[in-house]
Amino acid sequence: MAKSKSSHRWLREHFNDPYVKQSQKDGYRSRASYKLLELHAKDPLFKPGMTVVDLGAAPGGWSQVAAALVGEKGRVLASDILPMDALAGVEFVQGDFTEPAVLERLLSLMEGGRADLVISDMAPNLSGVADIDQPKSMYLVELALDLARQVLKSDGKWVAKVFQGEGFDALFRDLRGSFTRVVTRKPGASRPRSREVYVVASGFRG
């Protein structure tokens, strides 16, 4: 089957992308690692010893960053429907965290404790049709927020990828009811033509 013009463009962009090349040099599993590093530089997210939950973690780019920044005394609990190769300092649960059995496994790893930070780089498989993609992406954001409300410590933080469009303003209003500070960031590692931004919410009211 012949590749479409758009897939050719994506491949050309991907292999010419300086962040892709840098990730290969630095040993990161994806260019997304740099997005999280930029977010952390702008709004300090991590401290040694923290417990972090990483949703939609595969292939592990964000978990790698999180594990390095929380250190040996910290914990990173990662989950994804897709499999993920083992990472030092990361405990991984494969499955859909909205299913009770998978959620129970994730919660049992926390051993009754609470998370300092929940991060989500989840995105649906995009069709290119905004009316289809936007509701799907907002649904994933809402799922990540629902889990965060279950597991976060008081004053905890939440970071998630969000696509600008319908539902974005309502999400912001919802977040302001649960967090003391909510900001939007567009890291340099995020492709300019992408509608994706990252919402950073801190000061969870628990």
Q: Contact at 8 Å (CB) between 152 and 204?
A: yes
Mean pLDDT of 87-115: 95
Would the CA dihedral through 161, 78, 30, 67 be positive or negative? Answer: positive
How many Cα atoms sit within 13 Å of 27 on the Cβ side?
4
pLDDT at residue 6 above 60?
A: no
User: Percent of the chain beyond pLDDT 90?
Assistant: 70
- Lowest-pLDDT choice from 22-26, 36-40, 165-169: 22-26
CA distances from 185 to 4, 38, 93, 114 (A): 32, 9, 28, 26
Q: What's the pLDDT at 10?
A: 43
How are strands ordered across the β-sheet holding 90-94?
A: 90-94, 75-80, 51-55, 115-120, 152-163, 196-204, 179-185
Domains of the chain (ranges, CATH numbers): 30-204 (3.40.50.150)
Residues 57/83, Cβ–Cβ less than 8 Å: no
Q: Say how many CA atoms lie within 13 Å of 58 toward its Cβ.
A: 12
Q: What is the mean pLDDT of residues 60-74?
A: 97
**Residue 41 pLDDT > 70, yes or no?**
yes
Task: Using alpha carbons, select from 150, 148, 169, 151 the residue that is nearest to residue 160.
Answer: 148
Residue 49 vs residues 56, 68, 151: alpha-carbon distances, Å: 22, 11, 17
Residue numbers in the known binding site for S-adenosyl-L-methionine are: 60, 62, 80, 96, 121
pLDDT, position 21: 59
Q: The whole model's pTM is what?
A: 0.87
The answer to whether residue 161 is catalytic is yes
The whole-number average pLDDT for the span 45-51 is 98
pLDDT, one tens digit per residue, over 155-200 is: 999 999 999 888 999 999 999 999 999 999 999 877 777 788 999 9
Selected residue with higher pLDDT from 191 and 38: 38
The secondary structure element, H or E, covering residue 22 is helix 18-26
Q: What pLDDT is recorded for position 8? A: 56
Catalytic residue among 25, 136, 161, 186: 161
Please provide the average confidence, as pLDDT, over all residues in the chain. Answer: 88
Residue 197 main-chain phi, psi, to 5 deg: -135, 170
Binding site membership: which residues? 60, 62, 80, 96, 121
